[in-house]
Amino acid sequence: MSVLRRNVSVALAIARKDAIAEVRGKQAAVSTLTFAALVLLLFGFALGPDPRRLADAAPGLLWLGLVFAGLLAVGRFHEVETEDGALEQLTLYPVDRRSIYAGKAAIGALAMLVLGALLVPLMAILFAVDVVHALPVLALTVVLGAIGFAAVGTFYAGVTVRMRAREVMLPLLVLPIVAPLLLAAVKATSAALTGDPFGELPAWLELLAGFDVVMLIAGAGTYGFLVEE
Amino acid sequence: MKTRILGIVALLAVVAATLFGLFVVPADLNQGDAQRIMYPHVASAWLAYLSFGVTALAGIGWLIRRDLRFDSVAVASAEIGVVFTAFAIWGGMMWARPVWGVFWQWEDPRLTTTALLLALYVGYLLLRRLSDDPARRATRASVVGLVAAVDMPIVHFSVIWWRGLHQAPTFLSPDKILNPSAPLPFVLALVGMLGAFTLAWAWLLIRRYQLARAELAREEAVRGGLIRKASRSASSSTASSSLPTGDVAGAGGGTQSKAPAEAAR
């Protein structure tokens, strides 16, 4: 078995383990999804009943909801490892550290996709936005955003996992880093939903894809230092 | 002694550059005296980027060589960088209020980028505070400093695009700062301030580095049970300043060496 195939299978095994644990446990998954929905609902209250304003703000609100709920999700997949010394066990396996990072990032991205699958229809309903005509572009944006967020979030979850006050530190470190992702994703979503007269959409998707690649490389390259400590 | 000379020279240079910028250079025709803020403002922004660049490089140094002196350079540089970033933002707002009429302008990519820069490195410093073990702290800080440095160009260009995809970047074009048609006193004031601030930066970096080394030595002494952590309070100062007896060392060193909060996780 080639090295690459072995690493990929290790990553998939880790992602699969976490997915099974979440599906069987359910509490964390259900509470995170509920939290995400609640965020959108409260944004609706905060911005008032004017449907025009809500529709204009919808892309930004969608992505803020995804980012806030995503923080809970990526933190969760490292937190489960702190129980019963599971993290030490995981790092004792003779596998490439990058596979561990890739596995955790993959499950994080999957969680973001599940959140997106909930929040996009919810945004369409709550803020009266027509998403059907833009679904392919929207899906692509969510996929790119999910990968980028999981790449960053997983890295910082690795940084903070054994730290005091990690519940505060994770958002504090992640939020400024994902600012370009938020910006590009909101712009792309907005262009997909309300039309794109200046043809900006490809540039924003490129920026998202570039962010994903850079952060995956940076995360995979440095994650090994964190688990060795 | 050499550091002290550097400090005195830096102080004189900053005072000279300040006096030059305030009284010798004529006021800007359009902006009036508010434009003078630009000299320390640009110099601070330059030092912010210089500091965080040094922090990232020192982080790489630690990851490769595993020498804590690199980490001391990293924290010294990051702390100074945060101070100058905050100063640059403050100066920018003081300038923006009379010239633009508002403190904050979302259209300006430099302002928004710098605000994120500040947030990134305040997080970096907090992260250091919350890590007890020196090697672990150095590793965490190094990788976070690296990723932050990688993120900064993306932040910068995304914010420029965000403002309007069709506008050319203004910040990275050097002709705006060193415009050949700019009057000579203006260029002199700016270059003089840049040089003076950089000297001050070098002095601050050396002093903060020495402080970081001393902090580390103190931490190690506490960890090894040589002194007690609570030696700052007057009541225990006599017990800890002299060589501690066995039970004092046991009480102080025993709890400290485990770094309890981290070991529990």
Q: What is the predicted ipTM?
A: 0.90
pLDDT digits (tens, 9 = 90+) for B170-203: 444 444 444 555 678 888 999 999 999 999 999 9
A130 φ/ψ angles, rounded to the nearest 5 degrees: -85, 110
Residue B265, in any domain of the structure:
no
Average pLDDT of every residue of chain B: 81
What is the distance in angstroms between the Cα of A123 and the nearest Cα belonging to chain B? Answer: 23
Least confident of A84-88, B95-99, B141-145: A84-88
Contact B147 A218 (CB under 8 A): yes
Higher pLDDT residue, A83 or A210?
A210
User: Measured between beta carbons, which residues in chain A are less than 8 angstroms from residue B119?
Assistant: 175-176
pLDDT at B237: 41
Mention every residue, 6+ apart, whose C-beta is less than 8 A from residue B50: B81, B198, B201
Q: What letter would DSSP give residue B108? A: -
| Closest approach of B176 to chain A, Cα-based (Å) | 25
Do the Cβ atoms of B116 and A176 come within 8 Å?
yes
Residue B232 included in any domain: no
CB contact under 8 A, B158 and A207: yes
- Domain assignment present for residue B118? The answer is yes
pLDDT of residue B265: 38
Give the torsion through C-alpha atoms of A106, A110, A115, A121, to 10 deg: 140
Closest CB from B144, B165, B261 relative to A159: B144
Say yes or no to pLDDT of A219 above 90: yes
Contact A225 B139 (CB under 8 A): yes
The label of the residue with tokens 């590009």 reads: A184
Report the C-alpha gap between A120 and A123 in whole angstroms: 5
* A83 within 8 A of A21, measured Cβ to Cβ: no
**Cα–Cα distance for residue pair B120/B234, rounded to 1 Å:** 38
Q: Is residue B19 part of a domain?
A: yes
The residue whose two tokens read 């446990």 is A25
The tokens of B46 are what? Answer: 């330059």
Report the distance separating Cα B181 and Cα A81, nearest Å: 62
**Which residues in chain A touch residue B265, judged by CB atoms under 8 angstroms apart?**
82, 161-163
Contact assessment for residue B99 and residue B228, using Cβ atoms and an 8 Å cutoff: no
Please check the confidence at residue B232 and state whether its pLDDT lies above 60: no
> How many CB atoms neighbour CB A217 within 10 A?
12
Put simply, the answer to whether A225 touches B159 (Cβ < 8 Å) is no
| Chain A CB within 8 Å of residue B163 CB | no
Reply yes or no on whether the pLDDT at A193 is more than 70: yes
| B229 part of a folded domain | no
Spatial distance between the Cα atoms of A112 and A139, rounded to a whole number of angstroms: 12
Res A82: pLDDT: 84
For residues A133-156, give the mean pLDDT: 96
Q: Which of A76-90, A113-127, A130-144, B212-226 has the lowest mean pLDDT?
A: A76-90
Closest-CA distance of chain A to residue B46, Å: 20
Q: Where are the beta strands (DSSP E) in chain B?
A: none
Query: What average pLDDT does range A94-123 have in this prediction?
Result: 94
The pLDDT tens digits for B122-176 are 999 999 999 889 999 999 999 999 999 998 888 888 888 777 644 444 444 444 4
Compute the nearest-CA separation of B58 from chain A (Å): 15
Phi-psi sector, B251: left (phi>0), alpha (psi -120 to 50), beta? alpha
Q: Which pLDDT score, from 0 to 100, does residue A204 have? A: 93
Q: Is residue B201 part of a domain?
A: yes
Q: Is A187 exposed, middle or buried (0-12, 13-18, 19+ CB in 10 A)?
A: buried
- Kindly determine whether residue A177 and residue B147, on different chains, have CB atoms separated by under 8 Å: yes
pLDDT, averaged across chain A = 92
Q: Does A209 touch chain B (CB under 8 A)?
A: no
Q: Which of A177, A214, A228 sits opposite B120 (nearest CB)?
A: A177
Which amino acid is residue B170, in one-letter code?
T
Q: How many domains does chain B have?
A: 1
B133: number of Cβ within 10 Å: 16
Task: Name the closest residue on chain B to residue A188, using Cα atoms.
Answer: B162
* Helix, strand, coil % in chain B, rounded to nearest 5: 80, 0, 20
Poorest-pLDDT segment among A106-120, A187-201, B42-56: A187-201
Question: What pLDDT is stored for residue B164 in this prediction?
Answer: 61
pTM for this entry? 0.85
Each residue of A23-63: pLDDT tens digit? Answer: 898 878 899 999 999 999 999 999 988 999 999 999 999 99
Q: Which of B123, B154, B261 lies at the smallest CB-CB distance from A214?
A: B154
| Predicted pLDDT of residue A229 | 59
Distance between first and last Cα of chain B: 45
Range of the domain at B167: 2-223
